[in-house]
Amino acid sequence: MANKKNLNFKQKYGFSMPKSYLFRAKKGLNKQIVESISKMKNEPSWMLDFRLKSLEIFYKKTMPTWGADLSKINFDDIYYYIKPVESQAKSWADLPSEIKDTYDRLGIPKAEKDYLSGVNAQYDSEVVYESVNKHLEKLGVIFCDMDTALKKYSKIVKEYFGTLIPAHDNKFAALNSAVWSGGSFVYVPKGIKVKMPLQAYFRINSDKFGQFERTLIIAEEGSDVHYVEGCTAPVYSSSSLHAAVVEIFVKKKAKVRYTTVQNWSSNVYNLVTKRAKAEEDAVMEWVDCNIGSCVTMKYPSIYLNGKRARGEVLSMAYAAKGQHQDAGAKIFHFAQDTTSRIISKSISRDGGRTSYRGLVQVRPGAKKSTVFVSCDALILDEKSRSDTYPTMLVKESDTHIQHEATVEKLGEDKLFYMMSRGLSRYESESMLVNGFIEPITKEIPLEYSVEMNRLIRLEMTGSVG
């Protein structure tokens, strides 16, 4: 049973390419490592200062104990920086064949050829392939990796970087701030609507290597952009750490949607801090799908700062054996007539554990705010577990709050009914699970939803077969 699952997984994700590095920092974290990362990247001195201050904060901060079990993370046993190739390739053809191979096996290039000009794909910590669509350039849209942005658009980066998620926000934000590498930078000028989703693929391809990418998105007044982040990672035996930071600024009347399909291998700690600030009449949407990793702690958050700003978090989590998905959302209503909506769907099976952890705050003066929270959990067997930790702190009386929560077990009656139509038990289970998450999957781009349905089906084979 377990073998079959591994085989499937291995075929699709569980390969590791020969590793050729230009530079790999020693295991563990200290001032010298941080200094050498900054030096390798030729960074301005303010960034080095930022990193070193963040490192101090990281040392002082305690591990969060209110959520999932993080006691097995050994910060001394992790590489904090690996530089795989000399410099960024300009086009697909320039990529080293080894890396092209990796993407080939992930099934990316052929299916995505048309998209490729918009794809910003990350190999280990360095963005090795990037070719900004000419169309985007014409519009004045900047879409590049964070390291390039720091060189070419230093002024904009300095203005926003670390202002929404400061290093002292939490221990992992501090860690990321100290050792960050890679990630995306998106700048959409005033009034520009980007029709094609901007996509980035991330991969951890080195044992015990933490990936600390840093993403910054700025959507100027009246602009519109959809950013898609899809992750797959090969299987490794020892623990890996993924601690990313994503900051998004949604200006007046702008709209940003950020979609994540996360499928880290089952040894990865996925501890990501994501936050967006929405100004007047702005719309921010997080679509967050978590399938892989051993532990995920992720609560995309939105500050509704301007009047009539709207925030939405669609969260999906799937936990199988040995997995704990602690996911949810945080929304703060600071202004009048603001609206928030949180839809969470979680599935646990084969001893997996899901937790919905949500915080909604309505601050004094945020009159006529509307809050809607709905969390549904589906538990597939007796061994599995699901918990809900919803917190609402409402300091304004003139508001409309609605909260719904359901816990459902995959009923034998439903399974029998489907089997009576000629479906096997496994087909029935995976159809019901896919049906359960359909409200979320219909929101993500087609190729991702197809992939996700397939992933879930693949995951389900493990215990049934």
Partner 1 sequence: MLKISNLTVSVGKKTIVDDFSYNFEKGKIYAIMGPNGSGKSTLAFSIIGHPTYKLASKSKIMLDGKNITKLETHKRVKQGVFLTFQSPQELTGVSVYQLLRVAKDGVKDIIKMFAEVKKLAQELHISEDLLTRGLNQSASGGERKKLEVLQAIILDKKVIIFDEIDTGIDVDSLRTITKVLNKYKKDKTFILITHYNRVLKYLKPDKVLVLINGKLKKSGGHKLADLIEKQGYKNFKDNGK
Query: Cβ–Cβ contacts within 10 Å for residue 308, how many?
Result: 18
How many angstroms separate the most distant Cα atoms in the chain? 68
Can you tell me whether residue 39 is helix, strand or coil?
helix
User: Strands 23-24 and 82-83: what pairing?
Assistant: antiparallel
Q: Indicate which single residue of 37, 268, 294, 437 sits in contact with partner 1 (rule: CB under 8 A).
A: 437
Residue 419 within binding range of partner 1, rule CB under 8 A:
yes
Q: Based on the number of CB atoms within 10 Å of its own CB, is 410 exposed (0-12), middle (13-18) or buried (19 or more)? A: middle
Comparison of 260 and 441: residue with beta carbon closer to partner 1: 441
Q: Which two tokens stand for residue 163?
A: 């202002």
Least separation in angstroms between residue 78's CB and partner 1 is 40
Q: Contact with partner 1 (CB under 8 A): which of 439, 445, 458, 464?
A: 439
Establish if 382 lies at the interface with partner 1 (CB under 8 A): no
Taking CB under 8 A as the criterion, the residue among 436, 443, 448, 455 binding partner 1 is 436
Q: How far is residue 220's CA from residue 242's CA, in Å, rounded to a whole number?
A: 29
Q: Does 432 bind partner 1 (CB under 8 A)?
A: yes
Query: Quick one: 47 or 444, whose CB is closer to partner 1?
Result: 444
Beta-strand runs (E) in 410-453: none
Q: Report the distance separating Cα 340 and Cα 325, nearest Å.
A: 23
Is residue 374 at the binding interface for partner 1, with CB under 8 A as the rule? no
Among 438, 450, 454, 465, binds partner 1 (CB under 8 A): 438
Is there binding between residue 112 and partner 1 (CB under 8 A)?
A: no
Candidates 435, 450, 454, 465; binder of partner 1 (CB under 8 A) is 435
CB of 421 to partner 1, least distance (A): 4
Site stretch for partner 1 (CB under 8 A), options 138-146, 351-359, 366-374, 413-421 = 413-421
CA dist 445 → 116, 230, 342, 462 (Å): 15, 11, 19, 26
Residues 143, 446, 318, 7, Cα dihedral to 10°: -100
Q: Which stretch binds partner 1 (CB under 8 A): 114-122, 304-312, 357-365, 410-418?
A: 410-418
Q: Which one of 13-21, 43-51, 218-226, 406-414 is the stretch in contact with partner 1 (CB under 8 A)?
A: 406-414
DSSP string, 281-332: T-EEEEEEEE---SEEEE--EEEE-STT-EEEEEEEEEE-TT-EEEEEEEEE
Q: Does 97 bind partner 1 (CB under 8 A)?
A: no
Does the footprint of partner 1 cover residue 434 (CB under 8 A)?
yes
Query: Binding to partner 1 by residue 409, rule CB under 8 A?
Result: no
Intra-chain end-to-end CA distance of the chain, in Å? 6
- Residue 10 φ/ψ, nearest 5 degrees: -65, -45
Nearest CB to partner 1, comparing residues 60 and 425: 425
Q: Is 422 in the site for partner 1 (CB under 8 A)?
A: yes
- 423 touches partner 1 (CB under 8 A): yes
List the beta bridge partners of residue 394: 362
Which residues of the chain form contacts with partner 1 (CB under 8 A)? Answer: 412-414, 416-425, 427, 431-432, 434-439
